[in-house]
Amino acid sequence: MRKWSALFLIVLLCFSLSFTCNATENDSNETTEHPDTTEYPDTPSREPDIVSDAAIVIDAETGQILYEKNSDVGKYPASITKVMTVLIALEHNLNLDQVVTMSQNAIWGIDRSSTNIGLDVGEQLTIRDLLYATMVNSANECAYALAELVGGDVENFAKMMNKKAEELGCKHTHFVTPNGLHDDDHYTTAYDMALIMRAAIHNDQFREIAGTVNYTIPPTNLTDESRPLWTGTKMINPANPYYYEYCEGGKNGYTTDANNTLVTFARKDGLELICVVLDCDGLKYTFSDSKALYNYCFNNYMYFYPLSDFSFSNDENDETDINYILDNYYNSLNHELINLTVDNNYCMLINKSIDTTKIEKQINLFDRASDNILGEIEFFYNGEQLGATSITNGSHSLSSQIQSNKEDNDTDITTSKKSSLLHIIIIILSIILLVLLLTALQKIIQERRKNERRQRYTNNQKRRRRKRRKYKDNDYYF
């Protein structure tokens, strides 16, 4: 009986433990439900909740940051690396119709299970085909071929990528591969990636390639079949559920280490933005995150042109300001040269909640001109500076005028120095000539005196001889 009781207790205990474990797992599943991108249309000023671990949105024109999340945290970029690869290739002004032969390294230097378009060693296609295949279809062997074409080899091309990144102001970026296949030493940040895309979209050819939905590579020397390519940036494909009408182009990426990544650019109402999302758990969330961030920024920010109708001639501070300039600097120049101007197209990206009528401008005029800049106008809202723009001279380049005056002064100084030197030389020569004349005169005087002494001596000798003869004659007669 005791054995059966003990056995019953053991079974009951095991059942209890089993029930407890199952409950915990169920609770865990309920609490770890995958998050979703969440927008707040009823509260447009509220930032969306996104899935991506790092993200940023910047203004393509000014570089101003409108949204950021872990934007300086190092992440693996995966295939959005190809933005830099294509940019560098385009900056080398290559002949896009030039034919390239695929090398052994380009074909077998990548993981063949990674994204590729099935090219083979010795296959020939144009640089244009390589560029489109790299950006549209994310073909890793094509990115490799571009790196060999431009840099000679992948290692040297990586140096070019890192140098370019440094020139663009990237602080936490290091590239190893041209295609983004994983390497522990290949990383970037959301902010740095935004800087790279900002530089890239200044290239019209890049814009065209990055905004292409589909492209077809024609038959090559090794195949009679064409290769149709379709973009992985679903936000620019009208036939895709993730299509976003304001998105103009971009590049997506994925590796198991990097997770999903995406960089895009979009335009609405004249405002162009760049969005980067990194380390996103789920491809679809890169698109929903980007769309939510774009909606938030487009709904909350706008360009404001504070100087659209501004001129010094109709500004109330004009007379005082001009007098200030003249008194402090320009009294040494021709006053007719001064024509204060500003960039009437200067714009600031401001939050739509700002009352633009309360934006104050402060005119600062310099005591010294520098590169034709006479001062600046600063803009403030509730004591916070929103922006600033330069005041320049619209008629002539003061720098040129100043340089001209400087050159004239230098010429006058040089002429004066030459004249002074000539005077000194003349004086020295005159002194030398005078010394020579004096020396010659002194010699003449000395020679004359010698001659006079010689003559006196000779005369004295003659007188003595005559006197002696006289005495002799006298003696004779006596």
Hey, which residues are catalytic here? Answer: 79, 82, 138
Closest-CA residue to 292 (of 277, 271, 281) = 277
C-alpha atoms less than 13 angstroms from C-alpha of 166 in its C-beta half-sphere: 8
**What are the start-end ranges of the H helices in 152-260?**
154-167, 190-200, 204-210
Backbone region of residue 126 per phi and psi (left: phi > 0; alpha: psi in -120 to 50; beta: other values): beta
Quick check: 133 and 229 in contact, CB under 8 A? yes
Length of the chain: 478
Indicate left, alpha or beta for 259 from its phi (over 0: left) and psi (-120 to 50: alpha): left
Phi, psi angle pair for 235, to nearest 5°? -70, -15
Tokens linked to 200: 């890239």
Alpha-carbon distance 442 to 455, whole Å?
A: 19
| Residue pair 119/140 in contact by the 8 Å Cβ criterion | no
* SS3 (DSSP) at 382: coil
DSSP string, 168-184: TT-SS-B---SS----T
Burial of 420 (0-12, 13-18, 19+ CB in 10 A): exposed
CA distance 249 to 69: 22
User: Cβ(165)–Cβ(157) under 8 Å?
Assistant: no
Q: What letters, b where the CB count within 10 A reaches 16 and e where it falls short, cover 83-102?
A: bbbbbbbbbeebeeeeebeb
Q: What is the CA radius of gyration of the chain?
A: 45
Q: Could you tell me what percentage of the chain is helix, strand and coil, using 3-state DSSP and rounding each to the nearest 5?
A: 45, 20, 30
Token pair 């101003």 in the structure block, residue: 64
